[in-house]
Amino acid sequence: MLIIALYKAVPSRTTKVVTVGGVLRREEMDLVMNPFDNKAVEASDYLKRAFGGKVVSVTMGPDFKLKTIAANLFDAPVEGIEESYILSDRRMAGADTWATAYTLGLGIKKVVKQHLEAVDELISMLEGRDGVEKFVERARELYEQNLLPNIVYSRLPTLKGKTVAERLAAGEISRAEALDVLRRARGEVERFIVVAGIKTSDGETGSTGPQVAEALSMELGTLVPSATYVRDLEADPEAGVVYVERKIGNMIQRLQLPLPCVVTISPEYRPRTPSLKTKKRAILYTYGKKIRESVVWNADQLMADPSKIGLIGSPTIVGPGIDIGTPPVQKIVDKTRVLSGKVEAFELNGKTYGPYEKLTRVVDIPEEAARYLEERGLVKTFGLEDLVEELFGGLIRIAREQRV
């Protein structure tokens, strides 16, 4: 069973929104993992240990910022993730929840597709009467790429002589029996589960998870159900269902969802301890290794519709925001004195000042530093053009970049 854990990088201290469109310049911020997504990783880890498969993380944003966060997830308690995929492209910037869900849906679809293709290739080899040695060699190659579970091929000493490849090579099973196991393994890939945090600390909408289910339903051509506020879950891969429990107001709901499905995890979630019975099966369907280098996909690799991603593909517009943790500021046209450009950090009389962003108010800068900057012609009066740039500059810049 493929377990796909979604996570998001959020600003560590402030949510700096510099345009009316609510476009966060994440590449300029210190980013951390959204705290609500830790529960998604916990739930994903439990599912893998209990039922087998592997945990694949998928996220969207600037890859050079996200790779550090992904690296930490490989060693997250208890076993961490096995693979990391980052959807990164300037054309994806400024996405609202729907454009984000659409893009994530494409990433999930691509992850599932490459695993299905690996099993399909082996099925085709057996159906096409390829030699057993050729089959075993290709199974080994796909296993090394982490695309096959242990039941098909494995290097684990405890599974020696128990995999399809070894048993077929030894003449212990027929091609028909091997094909039956491969088709079951394919079914495990088709019945994947997407796990996400209940919301993000920089958005609080709680809508991206269910919207990912909608996006996947459209992309896969089949209904992908979702459940939110999940505080307990159990899976039955053989039956292809997940059992979840959630609290809505004063009501406790227990639901059965067919796989594939999407669930968002409540902060109340506490992982179970896998039973010995499920652990035995889990070993056979677990994948053999961790691939610690994050894979980065852009919009072209996802075959994304340019009209559905980023700011252009976002049907909602977010209102203006302010820095959390700092008081709102007021700038008056033709009166307020501001910096005419961005100023890097500098030393003056043994003290370090800056860096300062363009259009920072002079009154917010220490007097000594402000006088120094004004003497060097770096201060001007806030004008109407500056107001337009501050309000709409980010929107215009991203729209231009997406058209290029």
Tell whether 108 is covered by a domain.
yes
| Nearest CA-CA partner of 23 in 297, 316, 303, 383 | 316
Q: Which residue, of 288, 308, 328, is where some domain finishes?
A: 308
Q: Verify that 98 and 189 share a domain, yes or no.
A: yes
Amino acid, single-letter form, for residue 179: L
Same domain, 21 and 141: yes
Judge if 227 and 359 occupy the same domain: no
Residues 136 and 281 in one domain: yes
Cβ contacts of residue 34 below 8 Å, gap of 6+?
7, 8, 9, 10, 197, 200, 201, 202
Indicate if 346 and 290 belong to the same structural domain. no
- Joined together, the tokens standing for residue 142 give 């796909």
Contact at 8 Å (CB) between 247 and 277?
Answer: no
Pair 64, 41: CB distance under 8 Å: no
Residue 317 reports pLDDT greater than 70: no
Determine the average pLDDT of the residues in 2-8: 96
Average pLDDT along the chain = 88
Categorize the per-residue pLDDT at 384 as very low, low, confident or very high, splitting at 50, 70 and 90. confident
- The rounded distance, in Å, linking the Cα atoms of 398 and 18 is 13
**Residues 132 and 181 occupy one common structural domain:** yes
- CA–CA dist 363, 149 (Å, integer): 62
Residue 115 sits in the same domain as residue 168:
yes
Phi then psi for residue 296, to 5 deg, are -110, 125
Burial class (CB in 10 A: 0-12, 13-18, 19+), 56: buried
Question: Are both 303 and 343 inside the same structural domain?
Answer: no
Query: pLDDT by residue (tens digit) across 280-295?
Result: 889 999 998 999 999 9
Question: 6 lies in a domain?
Answer: yes
Helices 276-285, 37-51: axis angle to 10 degrees equals: 90
Number of domains in the chain: 2
In b/e form, how buried is each residue of 348-374, taking b as 16+ CB within 10 angstroms? eeeeebbebeebbbbeebeeebbebbe
Inside any domain, residue 368: yes
pLDDT mean over 79-87: 96
Please state, in angstroms and rounded to a whole number, the distance separating the CA atoms of residues 368 and 185. Answer: 69
**57 close to 197: Cβ distance less than 8 angstroms:** no
Q: Return the closest-CA partner of residue 226 out of 251, 248, 259.
A: 259
**Residue 101: which residues within 8 A CB-CB, separation 6 or more?**
208, 211, 212, 214, 215
Whether 349 and 248 map to the same domain: the answer is no
> Given this model, what pLDDT does residue 201 score?
79
CATH code of 280's domain:
3.40.50.620
Q: Which of 178, 176, 117 is nearest to 153 (CA)?
A: 178
Residue 154 within any structural domain of the chain: yes
pLDDT band at 392 (very low <50, low <70, confident <90, very high): low
Using CA atoms, how far apart are residues 260 and 246, in angstroms rounded to an integer? 19
pTM across the whole model: 0.77
Residues 131, 71: Cα–Cα separation, whole Å:
40
Reported as a single tens digit per residue, the pLDDT across 135-160 is 999 999 999 999 999 999 999 999 99
Q: What is the pLDDT of residue 98?
A: 94
- Distance (Å) of CA 390 to CA 20, 394, 396: 9, 8, 11
Q: Is residue 314 part of a domain?
A: no
On whether residue 268 sits in a domain, the answer given is: yes
For the ranges 284-288, 307-311, 331-335, the lowest mean pLDDT is seen at 331-335
**Burial state string for 155-170 with b = 16 or more CB within 10 A and e = fewer than 16:** eeeebeeebbbbbbee
Q: Supply the pLDDT for residue 19.
A: 41
Of 308, 324, 348, the last residue of a domain is 308
CA 126, 131, 132: angle at the middle one, nearest 5?
75
Distance CA 54, CA 67 (A): 19
Within a domain: 330: no
Rounded to the nearest angstrom, the gap between the alpha carbon of residue 278 and the centroid of all alpha carbons in its chain is 28
Give, in degrees to the nearest 5, the angle at Cα 5 between 2 and 10: 165
Q: Are residues 128 and 185 in the same domain?
A: yes
402: amino acid identity, one letter: Q
CA contacts within 13 A on the Cβ side of 155: 9
Residues 390, 393, 395, 396, Cα dihedral to 10°: 160
| 8 Å CB contact between 108 and 261 | no
Co-location of 155 and 52 in the same domain = yes
d(CA 356, CA 29): 14
pLDDT digits (tens, 9 = 90+) for 20-78: 344 555 555 567 888 999 999 999 999 999 999 999 999 999 888 899 999 999 998 88
Same domain (yes/no): 167, 259: yes
In angstroms, the CA 220 to CA 259 distance is 13
Domain assignment of residue 328, yes or no:
no
Better-scored residue on pLDDT, 386 or 378: 378
Range of the domain at 375: 337-403
CB atoms within 10 A of CB 307: 10
